[in-house]
Amino acid sequence: MKIPNLDIVRLHKPIKNELLAAIEKVIDSGEFINGREVNEFERKLAEYCGVKYAVGVSSGTDALIAALMAFEVRPGDEIITTPYTFFATAGSIARLGAMPLFVDIEPDTFNINPNEIEEKITNKTVGIIPVHLFGQSADMRPILAVAKKHNLWTLEDAAQSIGAKYEGKQVGTFGDSAILSFFPAKNLGSLGDGGAVLTDNGDLAEKLYILRNHGSKPKYYHKVIGGNFRLDTIQAAVLLAKLPYLDKWAEMRRAVAAKYISAFKKCERVVVPLEKPFAHHVYNQFVIRVPEAKREETIKALSAEGIGYAIYYPLSLHEQECFAYLGYKQGEFPQSEKAAKTSLALPIDPNLSDDEIARIADVIINTVSH
Ligand SMILES: *Cc1c(COP(=O)(O)O)cnc(C)c1O
């Protein structure tokens, strides 16, 4: 029996009729762009996240681009972030002609190491993008302190972590702004692409509303150069229908994670994810570490058993071909490079059964122990 990494079809089954009804309503309204569901979803999302404004956009990537444009990032600006994240975090910085200034990660959380940020800051540095990777918050307190000291803005990349908490408070509420992604495999997924920018700052929100419509206000009068960064009404309707289930699904993910952690207790060669005391982890991914020399073999064993897995991420961003022009060298971010060689994401389907979890753990333990 195959075990997929994430079975979205199974997740949707109990609410399929709700999703169809939501989509049908939009079809009948004919308002596919900027329809009323977009506004309603933005209100409910802002309320859920605990921010004043949530601006729906076309993807998490476009949320990053729009937020950076709203911060008025200019070519040559430097922005601090982690080299161990999905490409879009750094790609968006580079697309605006700015420089991703990488800071290595903490090995136990895969998140940016706050203690190494300050030494990287120069007079060209304008902001920090901490990423809450895999569903766990970065250590925001020291990050915000260094941002404040050096007068930098902070943009939280919460694409993988909607609903996660730091010291009891939702991620996305700490920085000047935050971004979310509704890519289908994220904890709140649309049936396609979608994203949002969060902020408490009314001026920033106003800029984002304009930027997502080609910088126009009123229509056909362009104040700034923006883009088409809009969230489709159909996706907003789907997200509205799914939002009430988000916390329940996160609890199911946490339960799966707890079972994995207990199953791996007997094997010290498998390092399970650490939930920091400050964190409430929502496990968008359950990422273990196996010995470097054993990862290939482990992957083969999982494949042979029909068990889904993923490598997040196989190559640190500072080593990507497209970023060669930035001049980073191999060995510059040892923790990130090590993580790329040892990490292994296991199925984290909210509906994973006890038997499936036990089977996955057995395959891995048998492989790494020999
Ligand atoms: C998914 C993701 C994004 C981009 O989101 P898309 O909706 O796929 O464009 C950005 N940052 C991180 C950390 C992500 O995981």
Instruction: Name the residue among 243, 312, 265 with its Cα closest to residue 284.
Output: 312
Q: Is the CB of 53 under 6 A from ligand 1?
A: no
d(CA 341, CA 316): 10
User: Which ligand 1 atom is the nearest neighbour of the CA of 64?
Assistant: 10
Contacts of 199 (CB under 8 A, 6+ apart): 51, 52, 53, 55, 176, 177, 178, 205, 208
Ligand 1 atom 7 nearest Cα: 60
Count the neighbouring beta carbons within 10 Å of the beta carbon of residue 14.
Answer: 10
- Residue-wise DSSP of 98-134: -EEEE-PBPTTT-SB-GGGTGGG--TTEEEEE-B-GG
Span 293-343, pLDDT tens digits: 999 999 999 999 999 999 999 999 999 999 999 999 999 999 999 999 999
Residues in the chain: 370
Give the angle subtended at the CA of 301 by the CAs of 297 and 306, to the nearest 5°.
145
Structure tokens at 50: 């605990």
Span 39-66, pLDDT tens digits: 999 999 999 999 999 999 999 999 999 9
Q: Is the CB of 61 under 6 A from ligand 1?
A: yes
User: Which ligand 1 atom is the nearest neighbour of the CA of 61?
Assistant: 9
Is pTM beyond 0.95? Reply is: yes
Instruction: Name the residue among 32, 30, 57 with its Cα closest to residue 230.
Output: 57
**pLDDT band for position 94 (cuts 50, 70, 90):** very high
d(CA 77, CA 126): 6
User: Which ligand 1 atom is the nearest neighbour of the CA of 132?
Assistant: 13
Q: Is the CB of 59 under 6 A from ligand 1?
A: yes
Give the angle subtended at the CA of 246 by the CAs of 285 and 280, to the nearest 5°.
55
92 with 179: CB under 8 angstroms? no
Ligand 1 atom 3 nearest Cα: 60
Mutate to test the pocket of ligand 1, among 183, 197, 316 (most ligand atoms within 8 A of CB): 183
Give the angle subtended at the CA of 276 by the CAs of 275 and 279, to the nearest 5°.
85
User: Which ligand 1 atom is the nearest neighbour of the CA of 284?
Assistant: 15
**pLDDT band for position 96 (cuts 50, 70, 90):** very high
User: Which ligand 1 atom is the nearest neighbour of the CA of 195?
Assistant: 7
pLDDT of residue 217 exceeding 90? yes
**Is the peptide bond preceding residue 312 cis, with omega within 30 degrees of 0?**
no
**pLDDT band for position 28 (cuts 50, 70, 90):** very high
CA quadruple 322, 107, 166, 283: dihedral sign: positive
Q: Is the CB of 57 under 6 A from ligand 1?
A: no
d(CA 108, CA 273): 7
Q: Output the pLDDT for position 370.
A: 84
Centroid of ligand 1 to alpha carbon of 255 (angstroms): 24
Span 194-212, pLDDT tens digits: 999 999 999 999 999 999 9
3-state secondary structure of 317: helix
Number of H helices and E strands in the chain, helices first, is 12, 12
Amino acid at 161: S
